[in-house]
Structure 1
Amino acid sequence: MATRVTVWNEFRHERESDAVADVYPNGIHEVIADALADDFEVETATLDEPDHGLTETVLEETDVLTWWGHAAHDEVDDEVVDRVHDRVLDGMGLLVLHSGHYSKIFKRLMGTTCSLKWREAAETERLWVVEPSHPIADGIDEYVEVPEAEMYGERFDIPQPDTLVFNSWFEGGEVFRSGCCYTRGSGRIFYFRPGHETYPVYHQPEIRRVLRNAVAWLDSGSDSVPAFGNADPIESIDTSDDRSVH
């Protein structure tokens, strides 16, 4: 069965700003979905749909969820965040993109502020591959040059990644951990920095290749279901102790 991907986007900037609509006239989600459509079964969802398009049924049928948000993080309903959080722990992959670092779901999963430095100056970014053997870097040269990027700079307040795949350098001199892998419960998470709304980053072939690689990796998480709660002994022991307060 093909990997089932739900591409989520606020879809606010594209409807409110001509500058953004010029780059992503049908929404950032449609460009991301197009990058994935040849390899995966793809649907889209947006903020202003009922349940933000992320009903229990949709999430149960989603193997990998991609998340792009920026202007309306606070408008995402906590009940939906809980729902996504539970699905990640159960094994759904989560691809968090660019300013999604401030999303409720990413902050919940990281347990930190996820704050950083930033600057909008359409400057060059070099996205360096620091773990070339990782599947997410498959087919990518030593670095990807992004001609116009929003700068994100350290300190990036996140936990130490399980694996750092990409590290960015910006024309203004800053560096940033731009490709971070995590595991939470049975689910995998990948944070990927490139993708500002007024720059055509998601049209760039190398970036689209990374998105496809990331989805494939995110859908390779654990299928095992761990056992929790009271457990019978594996070996023969005396179970007559009656001091339990449970």
Structure 2
Amino acid sequence: MSRKIQVTVWNENRHEQLNEEVRKVYPNGIHEALAAPLRESGMDVRTATLEQPEHGLSQEVLDQTDVLIWWGHIAHDQVSEEIVERVHQRVLGGMGLIVLHSGHFSKIFKRLMGTGCDLKWREADEKERLWVVNPSHPIVEGLGQYIELEREEMYGEFFDIPEPEELILVSWFEGGEVFRSGCTFTRGQGKIFYFRPGHETYPTYHQSDIQKIIVNGVRWASPTNGPKPVYGNHPPIENIKAKS
């Protein structure tokens, strides 16, 4: 029997405390809405939030995490640098990371990207159509040509990130903008998936196709059992002949 994927869903959990509209959409928090379909898919899932000790991301928790999902928005600056460094090292060591929506401005995503990660944005209740531009990729397995969201926040290009290793989804918005909404990266041994949708006042994470992408993304980002890299001074494998 194969080992279950261990997932930690992190959410700053501030909008739910401050905004009744958000509480109506996500009464148990965005983290629980994200966790539910992952549990239904057979994964072991825990949640963590900003207000917990060490933001719920102790070294022990991270060491037990195969894939970390990150949702943040209005409290990026309140995330401890110590925790950011801890997450950074785990990603380099092989832990997968899925960054959602406004997590593009999180400290951890900006550190991993090495860029400002800025973009255009607008809240206007407009339609979003996410086109699958890499149909053979496992993250979009089981989807059609596109996903349509009746209401979402607009994110528009230019998106100040490094060139993605893989571009999987491109969004079109009713107002005319486009956006690279599904991008993958590798940092060290860790795989990273940035996925754009998920504004807090819309029921985006209750939509089945969005849930499917996140479930697929976790499976894709989960560490493999490949050889571990070896660093530092190392004895030769073969005998080295003395030079005359």
- Hey, what's the Cα distance between the residues in 2 that align with 1:103 and 1:41? 25
CA contact (8 A) 2:130 2:172 kept: yes
CA separation in 1, counterparts of 2:89 and 2:182?
A: 23
Task: Note if 1:116 corresponds to 2:151.
Answer: no
TM-score by length of 1: 0.95
- Once residues 180 and 120 of structure 2 are traced to their aligned partners in structure 1, the CA distance between those partners, rounded to angstroms, is 12
Question: What does the per-residue CA deviation read over 1:58-114, in whole Å, with 9 as the maximum and x for residues that have no partner?
Answer: 000000000000000000000000000000011100000000000000000000000
Cα separation, partners in 2 of 1:239 and 1:147, compared to 1, 3 Å: farther
Task: List structure 1 segments (4+ residues) > 4 angstroms apart after TM superposition.
Answer: none
1:112 and 1:195 mapped to 2: Cα distance?
22
Query: Which residue of 2 is the match for residue 6 of structure 1?
Result: 8
Identity among equivalent pairs (%): 61
Out of 223, 231, 236, the position equivalent to 1:233 is 236
Q: Any conservation in 2 of the 1:10–1:70 contact (CA below 8 Å)?
A: yes
With normalisation by structure 2, the TM-score equals: 0.96
1:138 aligns with 2:141: yes
CA distance in 2, matches of 1:49, 1:205: 30
Distance 2:123 2:224 in 1: 35
Deviations 1:116-167 (A, max 9, x none): 0000011000000000000001001000001111000000000011100100
Residue 57, structure 1, aligned to residue 60, structure 2: yes
Answer yes or no: is the 8 Å Cα contact 2:66–2:223 preserved in 1.
no
Please state how far the C-alpha of 1:221 moved relative to its aligned partner.
4.3
User: Which residue number corresponds to residue 87 of structure 1?
Assistant: 90
Report the 3-state secondary structure (helix = DSSP H, G, I; strand = E; otherwise coil) of the residue aligned with 2:70: strand
Aligned alpha-carbon RMSD (Å): 1.2
* SS of aligned partner of 2:233: coil
* Contact 2:192-2:221 at 8 Å conserved across structures: yes
Q: Is 1:151 the equivalent of 2:154?
A: yes
What's the CA shift for 1:171? 0.3
In 2: Cα distance, 1:98 partner to 1:219 partner: 20
Gaps of 5+ in 1: 241-246
Aligned length: 240
Deviation of 1:234 (Å): 3.5
SS of match in other structure, 1:157: coil
Q: Select the residue among 76, 81, 87 that pairs with 1:78.
A: 81
Q: Partner amino acid for 1:15?
A: Q
